[in-house]
């Protein structure tokens, strides 16, 4: 929730609405689509998001970076190959759309 608030630059009322109504966000928070009707109270969101300090964000970033560095070289190369393939496919599709429109 802290990441959402930070990245969307939204107030607590908007965050409250998002975490209680947005299906994908609820799934990211660990709630099932139909079976979990738990809702977050506004004050609970305020209390918990205030714990999300820049220091906590830095700590999370370090964990993510370290996990990425631990990937085997082969896996990183495979990821790069997939990204390059996707880029070529995207360019090909853009060219195709351009020619279809003209």
Taking only the tens place, the pLDDT of each residue in 30-83 is 887 666 778 889 999 898 888 888 888 788 778 877 777 776 555 666 677 777
Contacts of 49 (CB under 8 A, 6+ apart): 1, 2, 5, 12, 15
Distances (CA, A) of 20 to 2, 10, 32, 77: 15, 15, 12, 39
User: Treating both helix axes as pointing N-terminal to C-terminal, what angle do 12-21 and 42-49 enclose, rounded to 10 degrees?
Assistant: 110
pLDDT given at position 43:
93
pLDDT at 25 over 70: yes
């Amino acid at each position: 929730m802290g990441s959402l608030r930070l990245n969307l630059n939204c107030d607590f009322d908007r965050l409250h609405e998002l975490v209680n109504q947005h299906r994908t966000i609820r799934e990211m928070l660990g709630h099932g689509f139909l079976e979990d009707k738990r809702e977050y109270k506004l004050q609970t969101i305020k209390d918990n998001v205030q714990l999300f300090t820049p220091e906590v964000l830095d700590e999370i970033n370090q964990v993510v970076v370290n996990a990425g560095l631990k990937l085997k070289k082969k896996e990183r190369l495979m990821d790069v190959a997939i990204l390059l393939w996707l880029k070529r496919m995207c360019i090909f599709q853009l060219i195709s759309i351009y020619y279809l429109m003209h």
